[in-house]
Amino acid sequence: MVNVNVPDIRISQAQFQPETGPSDVDVPAEVPAAEVSAVRSFLLSRGSSATADRLFAWLMLLCGLSIFVIVSLIALELVLRSQLTWHKFGFSFFYRVFTDPDTHMTMFWDPVNEQFSARPFIYGTLVSSFLSLLLAVPLAIGVAVFLTEMCPRVLRGPLAFLTELLAAIPSVIYGLWAVTVLVPLLREHINPLLIKLFGWTGFFADDNPTGLGYLSAGVILAIMILPIISSLTREVMSVVPHSQREAVLALGATRWEMIRMGVLRNARIGIVGAIILGLGRALGETMAVAMVIGATPEIHRSLLANGSSMATVIANEYAEAVSDMHLSALTEIGLALFIVTIIVNAFAQLLLWAVTRGTPSQVN
Amino acid sequence: MNTQSSNLRSQIRAVTDHTVTGLAIAATLIVIAPLIAIFVYLVYKGASSLNLAFFTQIPKPVGETGGGMANSIVGSAILLALASVIGIPIGIGGGIFLAEFGRGGKLANAIRFTADVLNGVPSIVMGLAAYALIVVPKIPFLPFTGHFSAFSGGVALGFMMIPTVCRTSEEMLLMVPHAIREAALGLGVPNWRSVLSISLKTASPGIITGCMLAFARVAGETAPLIFTVLGNQFWSSSLNQPIAALPLQIYVYAMSPYDDWHRLAWAGSLVLIVLIVVAVSLVRYVTSRGILKGNS
């Protein structure tokens, strides 16, 4: 029997007695004193916190709405400041071709004569991004499969940490390393090999000896998006229930068949989402691409040729653009980049959410 | 005949299995190779240039050897401090809203989705927005508008921190057990007080982890700084002027044709990567030790 010291809480009689006016009944002045506990008297003295709670809730709501505000501000400013070129060229800004009045060569970007076209930049962005996907997706899925299914448990932690460390390296350092190590490597050894073997396809021409170009950009982008695709793939593979794996194994499958039929098939949608998220990152990548793509606003079929991408031209020319039309053209390219990355990322997030049934815990 | 073909088939299956295992191992090695190459290069080329002069001197004119990146390090510190002051409180506030007040509602889902999408917006677009909002308009009574300034760069970086901090702090706050909250409310603690003093304090290791992740990500960002802070060759600590920043200076040096500047770029990259790796490793250490389980 526990002896609990329960404080005696008795509401004072005076609080409930209705006012009866002066009465000649002599109510004893000594009402039995109600022992209001310390906790209750403390709480009674503090009053209600309704206003403070409401204020706090509103403040937190404002913080939450700030995200909407940021997105709207970005969209608003981009639209407002690209009005000049939008009114001059309309939608043809994105695909027009014009000729230089003096040399009669096709040109795409002429700040002097205020003629602009986004065509080479869209081409460069698409080529470098899809090339990077081509290189990164098989490697990323290979790494994810190895880490999830084949790796000895001891190595799993360090290797996973190393691949995630790739994601933490800033873009400039990738660019610096690419310019110093990767581009000379491609220029001296790999490009001549590619030209010799695949020059007949037309995709590897011999006329650019600098080593900069779409291929270098694709390779460095592939290295950059690899950790994103790999870690998201690992996550969607881990969500697949073990019963699927065991069922396939019980039917006599080899380990690769178990992975193919039991895991990858179930995680298909999530893997597609991870790939699209990697594509979204590759589309917007600025610094590393700006350093290795050659910054030439032209379209070439050869992957070894210099080119440019949307983010590259904004980074290179924005600080030095003088005329309003030039700034407006760059802002319109930024607006196109913004819309495209939002659509791609929204689609990828929807796919990933559908697979993991909730919020992906990995925030890129 | 049947046994032979089935034997052949099972052999093919076994060979395929081994081939795929080999391919997967090869893929992992190909992925780890650039990482090791980058780190080896960083240490090899950067460490030799790290001396006291690097940390205390500003860049010398072209052609003179020596000099350092001290103004960039200080400038980056100022920018990141400003970004944290803007990004962390608003981010944690958004996380509190998503976890405590909006749980399951449509608004909360919309905010969560938009935060994830905002995370994917290219950093150069953020820089464009900051340029358009702060650098361009010439408003007489607002002190930082109308010219390139450290303030605009800090704001751009702060805006980039908000979605990351918001999402991670929401996840950490969701992990706080209900019993603790209910105990506080049952004792008469006002809601705002219980959120701040109890939920937030319980989730604080995880929230600090999220802030460090956002910090590490923003520390290496260059694109938003190119046309907001513009860079500075001299000492500057004023928020109202262009300021040097470490990643921006690395970019400028890397694109230059001078060997001495390349050397400085490698050294600066080493400093930057050490900072980021320390932050990321701390994050990993905190998450793996189970400190996130609510014990502080």
**Do the Cβ atoms of B152 and B191 come closer than 8 Å?**
no
CB contact under 8 A, B100 and A60: yes
Q: What is the DSSP letter of B230?
A: B
Counted domains in chain B: 2
Q: HSE on the CB side for A218, CA within 13 Å?
A: 23
Mean pLDDT of chain A: 84
The nearest CA of chain B is from the CA of A29 a distance in Å of 33
Closest CA to A169 of A227, A230, A233: A227
Q: Predicted ipTM?
A: 0.88
Q: Between A9 and B135, whose confidence is greater?
A: B135
Query: φ and ψ at B215, to 5 degrees?
Result: -60, -45
pLDDT digits (tens, 9 = 90+) for B114-141: 999 898 899 999 999 998 888 888 777 7
B62 and B24 within one domain:
no
pLDDT at B285 (0 to 100):
77
Structure tokens belonging to residue A137: 């997706």
> For residue A64, which residues of chain B lie inside 8 Å, CB to CB?
93-94, 97-98, 102, 107-108, 111, 166
For B2-47, the DSSP string reads: HHHHHHHHHHHHHHHHHHHHHHHHHHHHHHHHHHHHHHHHIIIIIH
Q: Which of B89, B112, B269 sits opposite A173 (nearest CB)?
A: B269
Closest CA to B125 of A71, A169, A354: A71
The nearest CA of chain B is from the CA of A98 a distance in Å of 27
B107 and B29 within one domain:
no
Show Cβ contacts of residue A74 under 8 Å, excluding neighbours closer than 6 positions. Answer: A338, B121, B125, B126, B128, B129
Q: What percentage of chain A reaches a pLDDT higher than 90?
A: 39
Q: List the single residue in A with minimal CA-CA distance to B156.
A: A70
pLDDT at A6 (0 to 100):
54
pLDDT at B80 (0 to 100):
92
B124 and B30 within one domain:
no
B110 and B36 within one domain:
no
Q: Which of A43, A53, A284 sits opposite B188 (nearest CB)?
A: A43
Lowest mean pLDDT among A85-94, A127-136, B104-113, B276-285: B276-285
Q: Is A336 in CB contact (< 8 Å) with chain B?
A: no
B203 and B75 within one domain:
yes
B99 and B164 within one domain:
yes
Q: How many Å apart are CA A237 and CA B31, to the nearest integer?
A: 19
Q: How many Å apart are CA A121 and CA A310, to the nearest integer?
A: 5
Q: Is A171 in CB contact (< 8 Å) with chain B?
A: yes
CB contact under 8 A, B35 and A150: no
Q: Which residues of B38-72 are buried (b: 16+ CB within 10 A; e: fewer)?
A: bbebbeebbeebbeeebeeebbeeeeeeebbbbbb
Residue A202 falls in which region: left (phi positive, over 0), alpha (psi -120 to 50) or beta: left
Split at pLDDT 50, 70, 90, the class of A361 is very low
**Do the Cβ atoms of B216 and B194 come closer than 8 Å?**
no
**What is the rounded average pLDDT of the residues A100-129?**
86
Structure tokens belonging to residue A41: 């008297």
**Do the Cβ atoms of A287 and A175 come closer than 8 Å?**
yes
| pLDDT at position A69 over 90 | yes
Lowest mean pLDDT among A208-212, A356-360, B225-229, B281-285: A356-360
Q: Which of B98, B124, B217 sits opposite A64 (nearest CB)?
A: B98
B189 and B92 within one domain:
yes
B38 and B102 within one domain:
no
Residue type, A344: V
Low-confidence residues of chain B, pLDDT below 70?
Answer: 1-2, 287-296
Q: Is A67 in CB contact (< 8 Å) with chain B?
A: yes
| pLDDT at position A355 over 60 | yes
Closest CA to A282 of A122, A118, A132: A132
The nearest CA of chain A is from the CA of B57 a distance in Å of 22
Q: What is the DSSP letter of B135?
A: I
**What CATH number does the domain containing B117 carry?**
1.10.3720.10
The nearest CA of chain A is from the CA of B84 a distance in Å of 15
| pLDDT at position A364 over 90 | no
Strand partners, A99: A106
Structure tokens belonging to residue A107: 């040109």
Delineate the domains of chain A, giving CATH numbers in brackets: 120-356 (1.10.3720.10)
CB contact under 8 A, A74 and B125: yes
pLDDT at A359 (0 to 100):
45
Q: Kindly report the pTM of this predicted structure.
A: 0.84
Q: Which of B32, B121, B226 sits opposite A162 (nearest CB)?
A: B32
B166 and B20 within one domain:
no
CA distances from A177 to A170, A182, B35 (A): 11, 7, 11
pLDDT at A34 (0 to 100):
62
pLDDT at A243 (0 to 100):
92
Which 3-state string (H, E, C) describes chain A? Answer: CCCCCCCCCCCCHHHCCCCCCCCCCCCCCCCCCCCCCHHHHHHHHHCCCHHHHHHHHHHHHHHHHHHHHHHHHHHHHHHHHCHHHHHHHHHHHHCCCEECCCCCCEECEECCCCEECCHHHHHHHHHHHHHHHHHHHHHHHHHHHHHHHHCCHHHHHHHHHHHHHHHHCCHHHHHHHHHHHHHHHHHHHHHHHHHHHHHHHCCCCCCCCCCCCHHHHHHHHHHHHHHHHHHHHHHHHHHCCHHHHHHHHHCCCCHHHHHHHHHHCCCHHHHHHHHHHHHHHHHHCCHHHHHHCCCCCCCCCCCCCCCCCHHHHHHHHHHHCCCHHHHHHHHHHHHHHHHHHHHHHHHHHHHHHHHHCCCCCCCC
Q: Which of A52, A57, A143 sits opposite B27 (nearest CB)?
A: A143
CB contact under 8 A, B116 and A64: no
Q: Which of A52, A67, A77 sits opposite B115 (nearest CB)?
A: A67
pLDDT digits (tens, 9 = 90+) for B257-271: 888 888 888 989 998
pLDDT digits (tens, 9 = 90+) for B145-160: 778 888 889 999 999 9
Domain range for B289 is 56-293
| pLDDT at position A285 over 60 | yes
B111 and B197 within one domain:
yes
Q: How many Å apart are CA A259 and CA B21, to the nearest integer?
A: 11
B72 and B6 within one domain:
no
**Do the Cβ atoms of B139 and B146 come closer than 8 Å?**
yes
Lowest mean pLDDT among A2-6, A112-116, B152-156: A2-6
Best A81, A172, A330 member to test B by mutation, with max B CBs in 10 Å, is A172
Split at pLDDT 50, 70, 90, the class of A1 is very low
> For residue B98, which residues of chain A lie inside 8 Å, CB to CB?
64
> For residue A139, which residues of chain B lie inside 8 Å, CB to CB?
27, 30-31
